[in-house]
Amino acid sequence: MDVYQKLQERLDSNAAGAPAAQAFSKILRLLFSPEEAEVANYLTWRLQPISKLAEKTGMDSDGLTAMLETMADRGVIFAKVKPGAENRYALLPTIPGLFEVPFMRPERNPHLKELSRLWEEYHGEGMSNSHAGSPTPQMRVVAVNETIPMVSEIIPFEIVSDMISRARSISITNCACRVSVNACDKPLETCFSFDDMADFLVERDRARFIDKDEAVKVLKMSEEAGLVHAINNSEDKLGVICNCCGCCCTLLRGLTEIKNPNAIATSAYVVEYSPDECISCYLCVERCPVKAIEENEDLVAIHKNDCIGCGLCVSTCPTESLILQRRETPPQVSPTGKELVMTVLEEKGKLEAFMTVNQE
């Protein structure tokens, strides 16, 4: 088996998935040299110290460190480097990971156009359905803070600013989907990472640290620009916050174009419309990222089944004709990120493959 096929199979053992496809084979060849792909085939989903990797690969520690460092700098593997401790390295999944990181600093990517074309092809060839291939979605929508009804059942993990206040470190960088697809002129610097991933991206000059006040300002600016807040589908802590547009975002297009209902979980809310005060300005039609509202005989028609509960129409409606209401049965959210990964792996039938890679 060639090193790239072996690497594709290894990457496919992650919850994100990496199904075999011509486009992905070409992507791997652009991201990894044959020697790098061979070394990546020794990495696991757990961080491993350089001494262990040198033993596994039979390479000398200095040469191996130099190779892994250039790979981490290019954002094709994950690394943790701490003064006084051994460097540690791990695989990066496809999403979020191999897709996003190379697009975060587009000016430094010599293969930008080719990678954009190939990822677009790959999403259609099976990557989107593979990512959304479990009944439990890996990401969920959170409603704009101000549009959440002030009732007792509000739960902190449904409020994105509350989730932010629990983070140790926060980074912000360019949205890979908008850099790659380039179908709109919405703001680019709206993609948040947290804690270890934030540290990694800043160390590798792919992102910059921001404090909690700036994070809240970026969320507000994103909402004003009509971007949907999307976060990892677990309660305990934030891994990422995406601020997504309907035209470029892989997740939202998974819903609207590929019609996969598991592409992203809705928020706990759904829109409700009272036509009495509606002035037919159609701002809501423009704002809805999933076309759940359309013009209808001087008023608007709402397709509640398509509503993801983002609140973007509610925050713009000048007459308060739209509100968010709590769903009768809000989607389940995993208590922790670890449980989410285990559930998705089990649902996709990949748990054994994932464990096997990690035991090597």
Give min distance, CB of 7 to ligand SF4, in A.
23
Q: Is 291 exposed, middle or buried (0-12, 13-18, 19+ CB in 10 A)?
A: exposed
Give min distance, CB of 226 to ligand SF4, in A.
9
Q: What share of the chain is helix, strand, coil (3-state, %, to 5)?
A: 45, 15, 40
Give min distance, CB of 279 to ligand SF4, in A.
5
Nearest-angstrom CA–CA distance, 73 and 69:
6
Q: In the complex with ligand SF4, which residue's Cβ is closer, 184 or 353?
A: 184
Q: In the complex with ligand SF4, which residue's Cβ is closer, 34 or 318?
A: 318
Give min distance, CB of 191 to ligand SF4, in A.
5
Q: In the complex with ligand SF4, which residue's Cβ is closer, 281 or 342?
A: 281
Q: Is the peptide bond before 135 cis (omega within 30 degrees of 0)?
A: no
Nearest-angstrom CA–CA distance, 112 and 108:
9
Q: In the complex with ligand SF4, which residue's Cβ is closer, 68 or 288?
A: 288
Give min distance, CB of 51 to ligand SF4, in A.
35
Q: In the complex with ligand SF4, which residue's Cβ is closer, 221 or 351?
A: 221
Q: In the complex with ligand SF4, which residue's Cβ is closer, 10 or 287?
A: 287
Give min distance, CB of 196 to ligand SF4, in A.
18
Q: How many helices (H) and strands (E) does the chain have?
A: 15, 13
Q: In the complex with ligand SF4, which residue's Cβ is closer, 23 or 300?
A: 300
DSSP secondary structure letters along 145-178: GGGS---TT--GGG-HHHHHTT-S-EEEEE-HHH
Torsions phi, psi for 2 (to 5 deg): -75, 160
Is there a contact between 207 and 193 (Cβ–Cβ < 8 Å)? yes
Q: In the complex with ligand SF4, which residue's Cβ is closer, 53 or 230?
A: 230
Is there a contact between 118 and 23 (Cβ–Cβ < 8 Å)? yes
- Site residues (vs ligand SF4, CB under 6 A): 100, 175-178, 191, 242-244, 248-251, 271, 278-284, 287-288, 290, 292-293, 300, 307-313, 317-319, 321-322
Nearest-angstrom CA–CA distance, 62 and 2:
26
- Cα four-point dihedral sign 310, 174, 17, 123: positive
Give min distance, CB of 84 to ligand SF4, in A.
35
Two tokens, residue 22: 């011509």
Give min distance, CB of 20 to ligand SF4, in A.
23
Q: In the complex with ligand SF4, which residue's Cβ is closer, 67 or 265?
A: 265
Give min distance, CB of 266 to ligand SF4, in A.
8
Strand partners, 55: none
DSSP secondary structure letters along 47-110: -EEHHHHHHHHT--HHHHHHHHHHHHHTTSEEEE--TTS--EEEE--IIIIITTGGGSSGGG-T
Strand partners, 174: 189
3-state SS, residue 144: coil
